[in-house]
Structure 1
Amino acid sequence: MSTFKSNVFEICDRVAEEFPGWEFKSGQFVNKTLKHSDLVVHMGFGFKQGTTAVVPSISIDNKRANKLTKQLLGFGRDTSLVNMMSISHLLTHWPRHLPLIPTIVDDKDVFLEFAKRTGADASGVLSLTESYELFRGVLKDAIWFIGSHYDLSSEQALLNALPPKYTTRHEKSPYDQLESQKGIEYCIARVLLGDFEFPLQYQSDGFKTIFPKRTDELESVIAALPRLKERYARTGQVI
């Protein structure tokens, strides 16, 4: 028996079929055509009582960076992550009448009637049928952003060109590519390239960030630098 969630995923499957190299699995669009990295568009679904918000983000999952992160920190993480809300002004296929976080509902008529009676916000509410164009627009915008803000010509080129450079939609959405966990992942990307000085620079008081640095994670990376540096000198790789 179909459910609201399975119906949403079926629509996403149909969208993915339009774009060579892409598939939809586990709530996200994924492209695995590169040997060194996976391209991912997370949809940010949160299913509850026949509704789900759509909060998409774009990530690059470099396989060696993920492996090194697991070795040093005990868990994997996206090598690069961009919330699509923060770049909404750059998107050309996102339906302009929709708010930054639209909602898909199983029964729009029932939802609108409930909103009318209770005064609930019904702006940006889409039916399953209407969600198709939204999902298609999200993927088209994400593919454009990946192609124009990342160098996918080789693994080294990708890592060297990090972090992606872009403007955010306003000052309340700060450029955060060197903040918190993203800063740690950039340190790991630099280590993969043989740059063992950057994590030390990032740790220093002279390197200013908007949000507090993840000092425990940073210390784990820095503690591993001597052995990683020695391995790099022997083999030309840290992993």
Structure 2
Amino acid sequence: MKYCRFFLIFLLLALTAGCGADWFPEYHQSPTDPNVFSFDTQTNVALGSVVKSNTITVQGLKAASTTITISDTTGSGSQYSINGGAFTSANGTVKNGDTVTVQHTASSTVGGVVVTTVTIGNIAETFTSIVSNVQPLFSPITKQAAAGKDVDSGLVTLNITPGSYVVSITNGLFSTNATTGFTAISQSITFSSPAVIYLRNTAPSTVGQSVVTTLTVGNQTGTMTTTAQ
């Protein structure tokens, strides 16, 4: 009886093979699909900056051309450029040898991520930018003053998202008011939009020497340098 079972199994395998069954079907690329492409993730980008991707070249199409579309879920103005032309978000077409570059506006939040999806034919790939967790609070401030004189920065607009932050300072004072409340005591402050602050330091007593005041808000810093003259 067992020989009958072996015979039946052998016969079944032989018949299956004879029918040309394909156990591992070969992948057939659609004529309108390009070879796989990729966009490099960009990290430590500036808040709200326009970020451009690396440029890819369309290859592997069997058809004369294929479609290209772009999208994102963050309203970040994602666009693409073909062969260095004008950036657009409209649906278009590309062919073998065309180059494609993507751009979008980075997140306005420290550490924020923006993801753009580019679809060529049926092949979809993403371009991602990540805002740095450490951004400069403001451009460096430089002042000159008579030796020993107190110096105010004037209004300083901070490069942060409005919210509550721990504020500290070295070699100077800060305030959220232009004329009063200056302090060197670290404290939590809630900033609205725009986020602003005022700094104060004292010029050194020796002409030519400088004092550097460093303000820290959250994990971001900015400096004010005053030189005695």
Q: Which has the higher strand share?
A: 2
- Interval of TM-score (by shorter of Structure 1 and Structure 2): under 0.3
Q: Which has the higher helix share?
A: 1
* TM-score of the two chains, using structure 2 as the length reference: 0.24
